[in-house]
Amino acid sequence: MSEINWSVLREAANDAMAKAYVPYSKFKVGAAALTEDGRIVSGCNVENASYGLTLCAECALVSQLFMTGGGRLVAFTCVDGHGNILMPCGRCRQLLFEHSAKGMILETVSGFKTIDEVIPDAFGPRDLEERK
C-alpha cells in the first residue's frame, strides 16, 4: 500500500462524486481506481427515472478504464456525497473483480481489504481461463 497514494485516489473520487446525476435519491457517489500502468480512472453514479437503469459509479469507472486504454485495477476507493468512504454493493464488487489485478486493494468502511476478501470465492475471467 505504500506506493498507492490514497489521498489522490480519494480526491479523484470526490471530484467524480461532484458530477453525479442524482435527481431522485440525492445520494451522490464517486469512485476512483488506480490501474497497473499508473492511470487513475473514475466515475459517478447516473440515475434514471426507471430506477433499474441507474448506473453505479463503478460502471462509469469501468467504462472510463476501457475508454482510456484498458488494463487492470490495482487500488479502488468510493465516496458518498460527504466524502465518506463507501463499500461497493455486491453487484459492483463483481464488476470490480472482473477488471481487477490479482490482489487489488479496496479502501472500505472497515479498512483496506483485497478484492478476494470483499467478494470471496468469486467467479470471473481467471476461472474461465483455467477451464479452457
Catalytic annotation, residues? 58
Q: In what order do the strands lie in the sheet with 111-114?
A: 40-44, 29-35, 73-80, 100-108, 111-114
Q: Rg of the chain's alpha carbons, rounded to an integer?
A: 14
Contact 103, 2 (CB under 8 A): no
**DSSP run (H or E) holding 107:** strand 100-108
